[in-house]
Amino acid sequence: MTVVTETPLAQRVTGKPRVIVTRRLLPETEARMDELFDVTHNPDDVPMDRDALIAAMRECDVLVPTVTDRIDGEMIAAAGDRLGLFANFGAGVDHIDLAAAWARKIVVTNTPSVFTDDTADMAMALIISVPRRLPEGSRMLLDGNWTGWGPSNFLGTSLGGKRLAIVGMGRIGQAVAHRARGFGLEVVYHNRHRLPPAIENMLGARYEPDLDQLIADADILTLHCPASTGTHHLLDARRIALLKPSACVINTARGDIIDEEALIAALQNGRIAGAGLDVYAREPSVDPRLLALPNVVLMPHLGSATVEGRGAAGLRLIANIRFWIDGHRPPDQVLEGWA
């Protein structure tokens, strides 16, 4: 039986804490957790429903959720008194009602930074793929419809000299800007706070304080802001109408940052040239109208899907739990005002 002594920001647990993990992690992460904690894993990797999550929260000291687990205030209220830590596997914590967790004095941690390069790589892959029509070309070949090279066949648009508009200039946005310079893209960004001049100069990025103007001038618009009430449908029908007909939209952040209905309508009627999406409004469901569009590159939320990134996240996850059970503030504790 664990004995818990409260401290201002954490809990000191004597003995192995009870930990429940909602999804399958890398084998080496699970093996290390087995050594340190009293763990229940999810070997079938089936997402837990609402009732299962509530039951888990009632019987553990630490819950390890992921982006697939929606944990609202009512669920947290029903969790009981034992739960002390949400050790989230992943950087985003918009799937957890943070205010409700903090009100119950439940600590929330995440695993920031470890997926920055991987997500930026995915964004660049989409930035390249949409203008150059890579999936369309691959589909033509696989379907047996390619009749050979021709000087006017299957033309895309080049990247050099085009304006890449970045919304959200945190770690991932900056990593995308760094990569974009190598492709000759002009980088313009919008952010809640302007970056220091030294970072702007290093990235070759120009600040645009007016989001609508940034969107209107974009050749490629890429979204890298966190999901919050303030960014829900940030790219709505009105703002989509500001885009050039030749522009394309890239999203590797969160699906509900875009009004998906408005985006589909713009793609269907040719109002914009294309889109590259790794996230969706109702994951894992993808709107069949998106699947039918030839000018859209669709990926199954693979931005962070690398062995290196997921392994590093596992190490951060374990460190956060160990700090918490030792009565110290975890290094990746999510504090009020995070969003």
Q: Give per-residue burial for 100-127: e unless 16+ CB within 10 Å, then b.
A: bbeeeebbbbbbbebbbbbbbbbbbbbb
Which residue bears the tokens 């709107």? 287
Nearest alpha-carbon partner for 321 in 87, 102, 118 = 87
Task: Supply the DSSP symbol for 65.
Answer: -
Rounded CA separation 68/87 (Å): 14
**Tokens coding 202:** 């290093």
Rounded CA separation 235/256 (Å): 9
Coil, helix or strand at residue 203: helix
Which residue bears the tokens 């040719």? 270
**Tokens coding 201:** 């100069």
Given the residues 283, 289, 328, 329, select the one marked as catalytic.
283
Given the residues 254, 260, 310, 316, select the one marked as catalytic.
254
Rounded CA separation 22/40 (Å): 9
Determine the distance from the C-alpha atom of residue 255 to the mean position of all C-alpha atoms in its chain, rounded to a whole number. Answer: 9
Rounded CA separation 281/94 (Å): 13
To the query of whether residue 301 is one of the catalytic residues in this protein, the response is: yes
CB 233 within 8 A of CB 259: yes
Q: What sign for the dihedral angle of Cα 164, 135, 226, 259? A: positive
Rounded CA separation 181/204 (Å): 7
User: What are the backbone dihedrals phi and psi of residue 275, each rounded to the nearest 5 degrees, phi first?
Assistant: -150, 150
Residue 330 identity: P
To the query of whether residue 133 is one of the catalytic residues in this protein, the response is: no
Coil, helix or strand at residue 73: helix
62-64 and 38-40: which strand pairing? unpaired
Class of residue 67 by CB neighbours under 10 A (exposed 0-12, middle 13-18, buried 19+): buried
Given the residues 24, 289, 301, 322, select the one marked as catalytic.
301
To the query of whether residue 224 is one of the catalytic residues in this protein, the response is: no
Residues with a catalytic annotation lie at 254, 283, 301
